[in-house]
Structure 1
Amino acid sequence: MYCNIVNRIRLLFRKDRESYFCFYRMLGFFPKNIKLYEQALLHKSILVRSDNGRLLNNERLEFLGDAILDAVVADIVYKKFDGKREGFLTNTRSKIVQRDTLNQIGKELGLDKLIKFSNQQSSHNSYLCGNAFEALVGAMYIDRGYKACQYFIENKIIGKYINLEKVSREEVNFKSRLIEWCQKNKLTISYELVNDDYDKTNSPTFECNVLIEDLISGHGVGYSKKESHQNAAQEALKRVKNNSAFAKQLFAIRDSKIAAEEPADNAVEESASVESQDTETA
């Protein structure tokens, strides 16, 4: 606290004091090397070079921040849910550090107003805020160390933007859930890419169908194949849950396939039995 007061007084005489105070309001402490935090807000679509001519963007900081965030969140989840099994802890951590969650946190922090990117770059495509948030954690780690990152996540993010109890109960991986449902009911599942195109901002889009027993069961569109799969799976889950007639149709297709395969299997068994008898006779 004393350090922050001293830094606040010193900053009153700096021309770039507003940038320092901006990060202070967001992080809870003043940066030592503010250039790291500024770089965390630079998207690769902006051509900015360092004094030695090297291109600057937030990708390397994002890579580092991703690893640090995983470690900090794992520590928090481990302590919060005492006695819970590894699978539960892994699933809860994944839901916290998933791209959609980080993107929302980034927006709540106001990163969408601070990130520098080309106007042609679509924010909903590359999750600019989520990526910048990870890069910010990376910058924080280099500038202040692991404990500062831990303080930031525990005091500025968890509780304020994330309810751990609620998150632990949420089901967000629709694709995995649909696969489990199909495996339980012995149904085949596959995904097919229907179309890949570009939107008005020249960002790639993907359109896919999820097929259960070769029957189109859900349709999804997204700015990545993974996102389109998740959206298709979500639609399929709603359909099999709310439309009993559709679910019965899937089971009927499954049963007819099984019935069609049984005569062939019986024929093979009968042939094997005859061969065995001939061998014994001989």
Structure 2
Amino acid sequence: MAREGRWADGPEPAGPDEGEGRSGTNPAGGLPAGPDRPLPAGGESDPRPPRAGEPGWLQRVAALTGVVPADPALFLEALTHASYRAEHPDTAGADNERLEFLGDAVLNLCVTDHIFRSYPERPEGELSKLRAATVRAETLAEAARRLGLGELLRLGRGEEATGGRQRPSILADAFEAMVAAVYLQEGLEGARAFVLRTLGDDIRRLAARSGACDDPKTALQELSRRLGLGEPSYRVIDTAGPEHDPRYTVEVRVGGRPLGQAVGRSKKVAEREAARIALAGLGEPAATSAGPAGAPEGGGAGGSGAPAPDGSAHAAPKGSHGTPPDGAAPPDGARAGKA
């Protein structure tokens, strides 16, 4: 197409009527290229996909990313590695390092917003771990491979010769630069859609892998369903302390049986610890990991029932408020302090 031919020799934009008869140099092969003589990517006998700037690259970007580039120069910059610019300082235009910088921030915002909304029961520490696992270089590099960004990149000869198209750091940087390009063209909602389209499955996989240990409420829900016991239920059975520093005692029941009680400075924290205790009572190995940092094993020193200093929850001590009305005792191991 004539529009693509303009970009074959660099990122310099041309006006609607400029360059229609211009020919240039194919940056990969040094062959004449232009709207009047489009070449197959890499030459007459090379079936490889087009690199950025070669005929057909814009359609390939659109096909792989779901975004039709309105400003080819922007996407060409996103796909230009610093090594290519170093070898072609007069024609390459900008490399993708600035876009990578912006894309890193946009990516973090999109992922953070998504996991915050998708996993309301998970505390800040677990969300941070999930975000870190999602935006780390290995995850982004794999996403870039799936998209085929490595084949589109403009690389210097040295990087090309040493396998730069498959190098995780280069691929991760290219992915972040592409996020930035989409953001600058489509805005935050467009960037969010691109990020979730390309990383959504990774987020779900990483969340599920860590869920059994890191989110006891989700783990208990899944185990309860698996055992045919229905949904766990939580209720506050006691509230103590002043209004500005309350203590909540929460009980969790599974299949109508009380399986755990815990005390915390918020209902959610107490529910999480009660779920952890219930999992241990049901013999779920993933739940036997230690509770939140600072929560003394067995429910605090001497089973006092006071929350740990950091505000985390611990098991309600034996004999605390909230004994089930029907007098049913929790199974062995369901409450800390039970012999």
- TM-score, structure 1 length as denominator? 0.50
Q: Name the structure where helix makes up a greater proportion of residues.
A: 1
- TM-score, structure 2 length as denominator? 0.42
Higher relative contact order (CA 8 A, sep 6+): 1
